[in-house]
Amino acid sequence: QKEVEQNSGPLSVPEGAIASLNCTYSDRGSQSFFWYRQYSGKSPELIMSIYSNGDKEDGRFTAQLNKASQYVSLLIRDSQPSDSATYLCAVNILGLNGNEKLTFGTGTRLTIIP
């Protein structure tokens, strides 16, 4: 089982609709969860962080965390063509050496259809 799993997509969503991106993780003790957006050929940029169970909203973005189910999601409301990108889920995972390290999923490619 991969440490952080995402559906690679592509996920196509009509403009104005809600895009839902999902991520599961293996380490039940993980405490920190991040969503990054990466445009083609560019570096990742942080869009959301979440640390406790429940929802966290920031503008059109909502992150949802369920530690019992080891599941974190990102909702994008009123999707815009500029939201078309790859979204990376990152989770702090306990490594074999006992150190925590930020582990990334392979990303979900999202396309917003005008």
Chain positions contacting other proteins, by CB under 8 A = 8, 31-32, 34, 42-46, 49, 51, 88, 90, 92, 97, 99-107
| CB of 16 vs other proteins, minimal distance in Å | 29
Query: Which residue in 48, 51, 60, 57 sits closest to 89, CA to CA?
Result: 48
Query: Which residue in 31, 12, 28 sits closest to 20, CA to CA?
Result: 12
| CB of 99 vs other proteins, minimal distance in Å | 7
| CB of 36 vs other proteins, minimal distance in Å | 8
Q: Which is nearer to other proteins, 77 or 101 (by Cβ)?
A: 101
Beta-bridged to residue 13, according to DSSP, are 112
Secondary structure of the chain: what % helix, strand, coil (to 5)? 5, 55, 40
Q: Which is nearer to other proteins, 43 or 82 (by Cβ)?
A: 43
